[in-house]
Amino acid sequence: MLFNSIDFAIYLPIVFIIYWLLNHKNLKAQNTFLVIASYIFYGWWDWRFLSLILFSTLVDFILGQLLAKENSTNKRKLFLWLSVLTNLGLLGFFKYYNFFLDNFTHAFSWLGTPISGRSLNIILPVGISFYTFQTLSYTIDIYRKQLQPTKDFIAFAAFVSFFPQLVAGPIERATNLLPQFNKQRVFNYTKAIDGLRQILWGLFKKVVIADNCAVFVNTIFNNHQDHTGSTLILGAIFFAFQIYGDFSGYSDIAIGTSRLFGFDLKQNFAFPYFSRDIAEFWRRWHISLSTWFRDYLYIPLGGSRGTKIEQIRNVFIIFLVSGFWHGANWTFIIWGALNALYFMPLMITNSNRHHINIVAPNSKLPTLKALSKILLTFSLTTLAWVFFRAENVTHAIQYLSGIFSTSLFSIPQVTPTYLILLILLFITIEWLGRRNQHALETLFFKSKRPFRLTFYYTLIILIFWFSKNEQTFIYFQF
């Protein structure tokens, strides 16, 4: 069920009304309803994959109980590895089986010993990468004795399958979200209204920005050999805004929807395209995944401790694994490696934490120095996105070769004025709201009510106007 679909527009109010009508009942009844609603939401795509969520939920719930009761170090490690291998085994089979098989057979063929393997027609379950990491963090935190396991299976099942963030995050930690299922929720009008504003902005990002960019991105990337370098760079820029609008739009809708039900999810995007270097970008982009890898992979590897060589090794590992998490394609691994290379100068010079706060916190406009850094970071990020978007490595190299050709300085063949104006409007609103959790949190609060309502209705009209270009969310494939 897509957030930007008629199905969800009907589904959400029904779930919302029943959920709050159950508020006078016991907490378990409300949580049980959330589990049922979440399973219906997920089963809308393919009901067969509900068994995977239920299996992961049962495995980690049981292992969490065993980890808490066991004092033997060896047995606790055994239970932890059972969780890790079970979850990553399922993820690996559905997402990477054919990738490893194809590369294995190609390697033997290259060595002169051809072998054959049977590829499987595997359908990737929507959201498996997200809920797998969510349940893994639960057992790891219990193993580390940073979390006490819940004895309430319904609450745990609701935590794993919570429908707003089930399919594409944010990847929530049990330490933040699980306790919220164990306490009574009270409807908060102010929180709900702010949730609606965040949903509105998320829909604008997705429907108006991302889906309109997608039309031109698909045309340019699919026919890159027919376009000039200037058109190709425009296509790459459009993709940068497509993936940001698409993914951060999903996160905004997820977080806003959660607020309607009395839950607070962590911020997943913090205006990353206003970053002044790559390190700042990765502190602001897909925060729930970046911090997951930081806490469960980077720090255990040694983090920023040890020699400079060890630090560089750890950074490369984290970026390569992050790239591989996104999909079974060498393009994602190269994308991760490129970001690691971008990060290296900052790591070597110990300047990777120079920009912690948002740009220009006390002024309306950035300085020329800050603006130049923002544009450089955006340019590097956009070039890396070419590998993320390309069908394969050859496609990416050909696309980049086309960009850096003599036609780079020609007039682009595709110049959709309306889309450029929409992107400029989008950047302006993001800039004005950059100090907050989302762009509309306090924007125009001091303005007169008619002006504020006109602004909101303008966004709504634009969403309905451009809804004919409906596209699925990019991160559903991950």
Cis before 170 (ω within 30): yes
Active site (annotated) includes residue 326: yes
Q: What are the backbone dihedrals phi and psi of residue 472, each rounded to the nearest 5 degrees, phi first? A: -70, 160
Helices and strands of the chain, counted as H and E runs: 20, 0
CB atoms within 10 A of CB 189: 7
Asked if residue 216 lies in contact with residue 270, where contact means CB atoms within 8 angstroms, the answer is no
Helix residue ranges per DSSP H, 123-277: 128-143, 153-161, 163-166, 174-177, 189-203, 211-222, 229-260
What's phi and psi for 471, nearest 5 deg?
-130, 150
Q: Which of 224, 227, 286, 326 is catalytic?
A: 326
- Measured in residues, the chain has a length of 478
* Angle (nearest 5°) at CA 384 between 285 and 241: 55
Tokens for 49, please give them.
């994959």
* Main-chain dihedrals φ then ψ at residue 333, nearest 5 degrees: -65, -40
Q: What separation in angstroms does the CA of 405 have from each of 225, 304, 331? A: 12, 40, 22
Residues 6+ apart with CB under 8 A from 408: 228, 229, 230, 233
Instruction: Work out the angle at residue 44's Cα, subtended by the Cα atoms of residues 43 and 50, and round it to the nearest 5 degrees.
Output: 10
DSSP per residue, 107-164? HHHHTT---------PPPPTTHHHHHHHHHHHHHHHHTTSSPPPS-HHHHHHHHH-HH
| Degrees to nearest 5, angle at CA 460 with 235 and 7 | 90
Q: d(Cα 335, Cα 342) in Å, to the nearest integer? A: 11
Q: Contact, 404 vs 254, CB < 8 A?
A: no
The catalytic residues are: 326
